[in-house]
Chain A
C-alpha cells in the first residue's frame, strides 16, 4: 500500500487546458515536495512546502499544502507540451524518511 496516493495516475490533455494533480495520505508530513521526472533522468525538484495551508506559485504551477499537512495539490494553468512528464509527490515524516507517491504521468498534446 502506498503511503501517498496520487491521482490521477495518467492524464492526457490538450495544450492550453488546466489540470490538477492530487497527493493524499492519512499520515502527517513535516514537509512535502513535488518533482517532475522525464524519461531516463532523475527527478527534478519543483517545490517544497512545509506549512499547513501554504500555497506556492511557480509560473503556471500552483502548489498547495493541506491545512493538516496530509495532502497536497499541484495545479497547472494553460498546460504546454513542455509540461509533459511524470509528476511525483514525496512526503517527509522526519529528516530521512521520505516516501514517494506512485506518480502522475502527464501528456500535453499540441
Chain B
C-alpha cells in the first residue's frame, strides 16, 4: 500500500530554535498535503493545507510566519516551526492526498521544546 514517511520521527530542541519536519509520499504523488497538530489525548487539529507549487492555506489561529510550510514537489512537503517555544511541543502529522477518497497519513513527528 501507499506509504507516507515523516522525518524526523521525534525531535527535541531548545526554545528559540527552528525545527524542520519533512513529509514524503514514497510511492505516489500527492496533489495536496495537510499538516495536523495533536496534543496528548486530543484529536487532530488541521493547521494548514498545501498544494504543490503554491502558498499554503492556514487555518484560523495558526500563525503562518511561525509555521512555515513549503510544498516544493508532489512528493515532499516541509513544516518548519520557527522560534519554537515549549507550548509548540506536540505531535505533528501530515496527510497526503491523492484524491478525495484516497489519502494517507504519515507516522507523525513528536516535537519536544525544552
Spell out A's residues near B (CB within 8 Å). 2, 30-31, 35, 40-45, 48, 50, 88, 92, 94-96, 98-103, 105
Contact = CB atoms under 8 A, between A and B. Distances in A.
B81 to A, nearest CB: 18
5 contacts: A42-B108, A50-B101, A98-B46, A98-B95, A100-B46
B114 to A, nearest CB: 19
Contacts of B110: 40
Q: B-side binding surface: helix, strand, loop or mixed?
A: strand
A30 B100 contact: yes
A96 B43 contact: no
Contact of A96 (B6, B49, B106): B49
Interface of B: 4, 6, 32, 34, 36, 41-46, 49, 91, 93, 95, 97, 99-101, 103-108, 110
Contacts of B36: 100
Given A96-B97, A103-B43, 17 more contacts: A2-B43, A31-B100, A40-B91, A40-B108, A41-B107, A42-B4, A42-B106, A43-B93, A43-B105, A45-B105, A88-B43, A88-B44, A95-B99, A98-B34, A100-B36, A101-B43, A102-B43
